[in-house]
Every structure is written in structure tokens, then in C-alpha cells.
Amino acid sequence: MAATAVATAVVVSGCSVGPPPEDFATGDAVLAMRVEEGGEDSSYLVLVSPNGKTRAIELDRVDGAGISWTEDGVTTSDRSHDYAIDESGLTANERTSGGNELETQHEWYRVPVGAGTLVGFSPEDASKDPFVTYIDGDSGKATSRVSLYGETSTAAVCGERVFSSGRGTSTKAYEDDSDSIPESQWDLAALTSVYPHDGMDVLSTLQPSSFPGTTSPCVGGMVYEGWENDDDQHFVRVWNTAKGTPTAKTAVDHEIVYPEDDSSRIGGPMRVTVSDGRLFWVVDNTMWSAPLPTTEAGPIRAREAGYLEGYVGLDAEALTYASTAVFTVAEDSELHERKWSRSRSRHDDRVWTELTELSLVRTELASWKSSVALEVALKDVDFPTKDVQITALAINPEWMAENGE
């Protein structure tokens, strides 16, 4: 992947962030993190080696900014650029469409698909349309286009197709067997399938999910999405992506029943994953599990799988899954500096802390056995460690496989 020519200077916190250095490469890194400092407009991408040594670059902060790590390397974004990083260095792509610059205030999802990564954004200017960016894994080049189906709340990959649940629009679907959404249903969600930068077709419309910005698993053509209604009822929605599925069967909701019917206190799943035929999700450091729902309506009963060690970043969904395990970051000393409350929902409360010790913790989904997978060295680092939060994680897939995925 050839790196574009960019300057090598990074401006210190408090000033505008300069372009990152083009020689910033993955090297021997096995862990990537986004670290935010309270009250600052920048964010740090931190790469960690197997012996815990770190390297970091400073980027403009974007709410919800994620990281993907595939066999081609790492991708992440800031307000106006999309970055691809591999063993040869960093490619910085200025985000444009039709000659116009595209700046974002919020990233909704980041999903590997095909030979690249698809990312969904909200525009910085709320009067403009949202957009998607596809980052090619081979070249590191990124292309963007305005999203015709609105801001998406969730995304899943089934083979080469990306399924997004977004607000309905009057846009005519490109495929002949699809219908555009009636104007009376513009306030409903539409399950839309797209190939990266190709046409789209609308599968179904339904009440929107209340947890935007999640990535949902696709298993056997079924997409599983957690959501919560205005009455604090919690559901898992099963989307059937097969062509020709009757509308009544395209989306089926299953209410989650917690032990002692205590669901209003426990909360609903922001993000679910599938392992060994069961659903897993996290609420307030506790992992819950339920049988995989079917396409027939009915409640599903949740059971507590166990408590996730560590809290740093967990309330921001800073966790990542292997096929049989979940990875989180933990600070052993558990020093809470303070909580920063945000207005959108209880899921946006943030725990800010001073990092004195930091570990990557692996928890097996079957046995719930936890172990330290990596200890991060925090002495003489080039990113802030006080009043910070970890907002995203990604793990080198080769290292994950070598360590018993």
C-alpha cells in the first residue's frame, strides 16, 4: 500500500491537529486503541506491540470513531480524513465526493466487507446528507459517496453485502424486485442491502432501533440486532435477508426476559454477538446470553454468563470479540477520576480515569475464564494517561489466531 505524501509533524494538544506521519506503520503491533482526553478535541490512535510498548499519533476527535483491523492492516478516521495503515506506512485520504469535502461529526459503523472496509458517517453540517466511505484494503485508497438511505443505526455483513438499518427515504431501489418506501413510512427504519458503492435494495421497514451505531452479526443470512423501545422493553430483532421473504417474516422481534423479570433495571443490548449457537451481549460489565432466536416471534430468556473484568472504555462499547472469546481493557488499580454525563442516554455516560496500569483481558465465552492477554507499558508514552477514556479497540487477527482464537 503506497502512502500518500503528508507532513510528518503532529501538533500538540490544544492546537489544531496536523497531519500524521506517513511512516507510521503497523510494524509488530498486535493491539490498536483510540484514547480520548477529557475536554480535548483530539483523539490518539495507539498501537501496542507484543511486549506492551506503544506508539501513538494524534488525530481530530470524532464521536464514535472506530478501528478495523484486517489482514490488510488498520483503518480509522478523523473529521475529514480516512486512514489506512499497514507494514509500509500510513495512507491519508482526504474525504471528498463529487469534488466536495465531506467532514463528519459522528461515525456510526465500521465493517470489513470484501477486500476493504465500509464506514458510515453523519455530516458535520446537519443540513447535509450522511455519507459512506469504502477503504480498499489492497491500495489503502478511500472513496466516499452520499448515502441515499439516511443515517444508519446498525450494519451487518453477509458475504459481500452490507445490510444497514436506517431511516426510510423516497429513493427508488435499484433492484427490480424492490419497492421504494411510501412517504407515510419515512419515519420508519428500512433494512437496506448494499454492495460497497453499488446499488441498494430495500428489504423491509419497521420501527427504528434506539441504539444507533452498532455492528450486528450475520449468521446464515440472519442479522441479529438489539434494541429498546420507549417503554424500556428490550428486544433482539431478527432480520431475514433472503430474497423473496414475506414482509411479515423479514423482521421479527423477540423480547428479552431477564431473571426475575428485572429487565427495566438491567437494560438492553447495545451490541450482540453470536458464539456456539448463542447470543451474547454486555450491560454494565455483565455479559448476558440467550438461545439464538428463530424467525418465529416469541420471548427469549437471558441468563447471566459472568462479569467482565475491567471497566476502562467498556461503557463506550470498547470491546472486541474473537470467535470464542471477548477482549476488554482493564486497569487493575481502578482509579476513577470522575464521570462525565452526556445527555443522549444512559449509555453515553463516560468513565474517565487516570491510567496507571493497563491490560488487555481475554474472557472465554464458554467457561468464562479470564486471563491477561497483554500488559501495556505506560511509562514515557506519547499519549495522555490522565483524565482519559479508551473508546475503541481492535486486535491484529494474526496475533489473535496464534493465541487461540
Report the mean per-residue pLDDT for the chain.
77
CB-CB contact of 376 with 48 (8 Å): yes
- Whole-number pLDDT of residue 393: 93
- Whole-number pLDDT of residue 2: 40
In the predicted model, is pLDDT for residue 87 greater than 60?
A: yes
- Whole-number pLDDT of residue 174: 33
Q: Using alpha carbons only, how large is the chain's radius of gyration in Å?
A: 21
In the predicted model, is pLDDT for residue 78 greater than 50?
A: yes
Pick left, alpha or beta for residue 171 (phi over 0 → left; psi -120 to 50 → alpha; otherwise beta).
Answer: beta
Q: How confident is the model at residue 171 (pLDDT cuts 50, 70, 90)?
A: very low
Q: What are phi and psi of 288, to 5 degrees?
A: -115, 155
In the predicted model, is pLDDT for residue 161 greater than 80?
A: no
- Of the listed ranges 16-20, 119-123, 197-201, the one predicted with least confidence: 197-201
Rounded to the nearest angstrom, the gap between the alpha carbon of residue 297 and the centroid of all alpha carbons in its chain is 28
Instruction: Give the length of the chain.
Output: 405
pLDDT in tens, 358-386: 889 888 888 888 888 999 999 999 999 98
In the predicted model, is pLDDT for residue 165 greater than 70?
A: no
- Of the listed ranges 71-75, 118-122, 206-210, 373-377, the one predicted with least confidence: 206-210
| pTM (2 d.p.) | 0.81
Q: Which residue has the higher pLDDT, 167 or 243?
A: 243
Residue in the block written with cell 446537519: 126
- Whole-number pLDDT of residue 291: 94
- Whole-number pLDDT of residue 396: 96
Residue in the block written with cell 464521536: 63
Taking the C-alpha atoms of residue 168 and residue 183, their distance in angstroms, rounded to an integer, is 9
Taking the C-alpha atoms of residue 327 and residue 363, their distance in angstroms, rounded to an integer, is 6
Cell numbers for 198:
453499488
- Whole-number pLDDT of residue 378: 92
pLDDT in tens, 3-29: 343 333 333 333 457 889 999 999 999
Taking the C-alpha atoms of residue 375 and residue 108, their distance in angstroms, rounded to an integer, is 30
pLDDT in tens, 282-329: 887 788 999 999 888 899 999 998 887 665 666 556 688 888 888 888
- Whole-number pLDDT of residue 186: 45
Q: Which residue has the higher pLDDT, 14 or 92?
A: 92
Residue in the block written with cell 496475533: 399
Q: Which amino acid is at 376?
A: V
Q: Which residue has the higher pLDDT, 398 or 310?
A: 398
| 3-state SS class at 377 | coil
Name the residue among 346, 283, 353, 356 with its Cα closest to residue 319: 283
What distances in angstroms separate CA 30 from CA 50, 182, 278, one per listed residue? 6, 48, 28
In the predicted model, is pLDDT for residue 341 greater than 80?
A: no
Taking the C-alpha atoms of residue 22 and residue 34, their distance in angstroms, rounded to an integer, is 19
Q: Is 220 exposed, middle or buried (0-12, 13-18, 19+ CB in 10 A)?
A: exposed
Taking the C-alpha atoms of residue 314 and residue 265, their distance in angstroms, rounded to an integer, is 18
pLDDT in tens, 31-72: 999 999 988 899 999 999 999 999 999 999 999 899 999 999
Q: Is the dihedral of CA 329, 154, 151, 270 positive or negative?
A: negative
| 3-state SS class at 272 | strand
Q: What are phi and psi of 157, to 5 degrees?
A: -115, 125
What distances in angstroms separate CA 331 from CA 181, 334, 350, 359, 377, one per listed residue? 48, 6, 15, 6, 12
- Whole-number pLDDT of residue 178: 42
Residue in the block written with cell 469504502: 134
| 3-state SS class at 370 | strand
In the predicted model, is pLDDT for residue 212 greater than 70?
A: no
- Whole-number pLDDT of residue 11: 34
The domain spans of the chain are 153-269+295-307
